[in-house]
Amino acid sequence: MNEMLNEENDLGFARVYAVELKFKQEPKLDRDLLYKKMELYTGRTSMPEAEESAAEELAVWEANEEYEGTLLHFFHLNYMVQYTEGELPAQTSLMNIEHRPAEDYNTALQQSWHWQEAAETLEQCNHTLLLVDMMAAGLEPQSRLQLFSGALRAVLEACPCDAIYFRESDKLLEPNEYLSAVEQGNLLYGALNIRFYNVEGTGSGRAEGLMDSVGLAALGIPDVQCHYFDLEPNEVAEQLGNIAYYLYNQGDIIKDGETIGISEDMRWRCEHQYSLVEPRRVVIDLDPGEPYYAGRQGSQEE
C-alpha cells in the first residue's frame, strides 16, 4: 500500500480532492437549502430502503451536538465506485478547519493574474470551511470533477464565501466568477491553473520563461509545461490552455514524439517528463522547436 501511495504522490495524483472556502465573517450555512442544492447538482441523495417498512433516509451524516462547528458528510448515490468487495458511493465532506493567514497562500497569490483583489480579500478573511471528496478517486476524472463541482456549487449557493482556494491547482478564485464559469460548463476554471515564471540567471541573454499547468495531474491526467526563449507569454498560455483542455476531454492519448499545434508553421513536440516546478508530477513537456526551446527533452533523469 505504501508503495502504491508513493507512486501516486510521485505522479501528482490526489486521493482526496480539497477546496477551502474563505470567509470574512463567520459562515452561516442554510442546511435545508444545501440539501436541496446538493441533490439538484449531484443527483440522488436518498438511501434505498433496506426493508419495505423502512423509511427512506437522506444520505447525509451530521456530527452530533457536542461537535462545535460544521461537519456534514454526503453519500452521492449517482456516483458509484466499483471495489473488489462491491460498489460504494463517492462521498464529500464539509467541515470547519483552522484558519490560515494570507501569507500561507503566497504561491497562489503570485499567480493570481485573473483576480487582482485576491491578496486584499484574503487579508480580510478570518474563517475557513473545507470541502473534500472521499472514496471518489476511482471515478473517471471527468465524473469526479463533475461531482465535486456540483457539491461545491451547492455549498457556495447555500453559504456564500469571499474567496475560494483550490489546493490541487493552487488557485485562488472570486466566488461569483467561479459560479459563473461552472454555470457555463467550464468545470476546469478552478481545477486548472496556468502559471508563468520568468527564468533569470542562466546567462543566456535572452528572454527566458517557463509556463505550466497545475491541477490535471491531481485528477490522473498529465499537466503540460513549456520552457522557452523569446515567445510571447500570452501565446504560450493560450497554447498550454488548449492542450490542457484537450487532455482533460480526451485523456492521456498524446504519445512521446508526436507534435501538436495550431498551424503547420508551429508544431510543438510532446514528451512525458517530470515537472520542472513543484509540485512534482508527470507533465507533457512541449518543445516549440529551434530557436525557441530551452528544455532538455529525452535527457532528464527519471
Convert the pLDDT of each residue in 160-185 to its tens digit.
Answer: 999 999 999 999 999 999 999 999 99
pLDDT at 60: 59
Report the pLDDT value the prediction gives residue 299, as an integer from 0 to 100.
Answer: 46
pLDDT of the residue at 254: 95
CB 18 within 8 A of CB 92: no
User: What does pTM read for this prediction?
Assistant: 0.88
Give residues with Cβ within 8 angstroms of 285, minimum separation 6: 224, 225, 226, 227, 270, 271, 272, 273, 295, 297
Q: Is the dihedral of CA 166, 46, 90, 219 positive or negative?
A: negative
From residue 52, alpha-carbon distances to 49, 55, 56 in Å are 7, 8, 10
Give every residue of the chain whose pLDDT is below 50, as ranges: 1-7, 47-58, 65-67, 299-302
Q: What does R_g of the chain's alpha carbons equal in angstroms?
A: 21
How much is the pLDDT for 4?
38
Domain ranges of the chain: 2-191, 193-287
pLDDT of residue 302: 41
Q: How far is CA 284 from the centre of its chain?
A: 17
Alpha helices in the chain (DSSP H): 2-11, 31-42, 106-110, 118-124, 141-158, 175-183, 188-191, 233-250
pLDDT value of position 104: 97
Give the pLDDT of residue 1: 33
Per the structure block, which three cell numbers stand in for 108? 497562489
CB 74, CB 92: distance < 8 Å: yes
